[in-house]
């Protein structure tokens, strides 16, 4: 895992808020399914769930 120095991190924006339990659940589900399909050798399905994970991360400003 990469470490980012405190100086390199941007300060919390006033628009940031905690994710709801449902939002966290959606993120966890997308990650779990992407990994499970990959481990099962079902690469097309794994890629679809990985795309969904990226979409969710972007929608919460967690990925640019």
Average pLDDT, integer, range 25-33: 98
Q: What is the pLDDT of residue 7?
A: 43
Enter the pTM of the model.
0.73
End-to-end CA distance of the chain: 18
Domain ranges for the chain = 21-59
The alpha carbon dihedral of 2, 48, 36, 32 has a sign of positive
pLDDT confidence tier of residue 2, bands split at 50, 70 and 90 = low
């Amino acid at each position: 895992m990469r470490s980012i120095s405190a100086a390199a991190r941007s300060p919390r924006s006033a628009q940031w808020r905690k994710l709801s339990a449902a939002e966290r659940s959606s993120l966890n589900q997308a990650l779990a399914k992407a990994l499970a399909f990959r481990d099962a050798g079902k690469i097309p399905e794994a890629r679809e769930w990985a795309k969904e994970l990226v979409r969710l991360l972007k929608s919460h400003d967690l990925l640019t």
